[in-house]
Structure 1
C-alpha cells in the first residue's frame, strides 16, 4: 500500500508549511495553528523554475536573457535548530483533495518530497502533533545549495515565475514571521530580506 493511500484512510491529517504555504495554502482546511518543528533550519537553497523563477528577463534593447531559477525555502537537518510555520488540519474529503493539489504544486512542479515531523503548536495546552511536510534535498536536480546571502538576494530580486515575483515569496514569509512569531529567530531569512530590499531601493 502506498503511503498516500494510508494517509487517505485517516480521518484527519496535519500539513506543516514553512514557505509560501504559511500565507498561501490554496487548499481547504478545517483549522490552522502556528508553531514549530525541531531538528531543521529553513534555508533558501532550493531552485524554482516554475512558481518563482524561470521567466525570461529582458535586458538591453529588449533582448531576452536565459531563464533563471528563483530561490525558495527548504529545510536542512540541524539538531540545534527549529523552524516556525503553520500547520493545517484537513479532514475527510479534504485530505485527498489537499494531497492531490500539493502533489502538483510541491512535488511535480516544485521538486519536493514528503516527510513526517513532530509539530509543536505555539498555543499553550496543545500537545505535539504528527504532520506531513514537503522538503527538497540535494538529490533534486534543481537544488541550488548554499551561497552568500548577497548572492541569494540578488537572484531573488531578479527572478519571476508563473505565480509571481520571487521577492513577494520572501517578503510575505518575513512578514508572517514578524506578525505571528515575533520572538522567533531566523537570521538567514531576515538577512536575505534586508539585502533584497536594499537592492530594490537602490534600483528605484
Structure 2
C-alpha cells in the first residue's frame, strides 16, 4: 500500500497538542478550516461543578484553527482511535469527524478531530470574552481552577508559536480581574 494511502492523522487544538497520550511518527503544525478553538464546553467535573460549571475548549463552527497534526502509523490506527474515543467521547459532547487540514509543510491531509456537538447539554454556545472570563475566574473542579486550565493552554500555545487572540483576551481579562481582587 502506498504511504499516503496508509497515513492516519490526528488533529489537536487543545491539550491534545502537548499531551497526546499516544505514539506518533510525525508532528506538524496544522490548520483546520471551518472550525475555531472556543471555550464553548461546560465542564461539570474537571474545571467546574454542576452548580458552578467551568469552561473548556471545543472545536466549534466558523473560521479556522491552528493546531497540531500527528501522523500515526497504520498499524497503530485502531489502538489510537480506541484511546481517543475513551478520552474525547466520555460524555458525547464531541463528535468524531475526518477534517481536511493544511499541514505546516504545505501538504493537505484528512485528520480525525473532535468537534463540539451544539445540541449537547454541555454546549455553552458563543460566549462573549468578558462573560467567558468571569466564568473561568470563578470555577474550580476536580482537576483544579478553571483559570489554570486557560493559562496553561495559553502558555503551550505560545511555546508552539500559535496565537489565539480571543483566548488571549479571555486570559488577560481573567488575570486583570484576579489582580484587582488582590
Task: Give the TM-score normalised by structure 2.
Answer: 0.85
Distance in 1, Cα, partners of 2:92 & 2:152:
19
Distance in 2, Cα, partners of 1:52 & 1:94:
31
Q: Who is 2:54 aligned against?
A: 70
Distance in 1, Cα, partners of 2:137 & 2:80:
31
| Distance apart, 1:114 and its partner CA | 1.0
Question: Is the counterpart of residue 161 in structure 1 residue 141 in structure 2?
Answer: yes
Distance in 2, Cα, partners of 1:39 & 1:82:
5
Q: Who is 2:25 aligned against?
A: 30
Residues 98-148 of structure 1 show CA distances to partners (whole Å, capped at 9, x for unaligned) of 22222122111462111111111223xx41111011011221111111222
| Distance apart, 1:72 and its partner CA | 1.4
Q: Who is 2:38 aligned against?
A: 43
Contact 1:33 1:87 survives alignment (8 Å): yes
Q: Who is 1:191 aligned against?
A: 169
Tell me which structure has the larger Cα radius of gyration.
Answer: 1
Contact 1:12 1:95 survives alignment (8 Å): no
- Secondary structure of 2:46's match? coil
**Residues 53, 82 of structure 1: alpha-carbon distance in 2 compared, 3 angstrom cutoff:** same
- Secondary structure of 2:89's match? helix
Task: Give the TM-score normalised by structure 1.
Answer: 0.77
- RMSD over aligned CA atoms reads 2.2
Contact 1:70 1:155 survives alignment (8 Å): yes
Specify every segment of 5 or more residues in structure 2 that has no aligned partner in the other structure, as ranges: none
| Distance apart, 1:11 and its partner CA | 4.2
- Secondary structure of 2:135's match? helix
Q: 1:200 aligns with which of 171, 178, 182?
A: 178
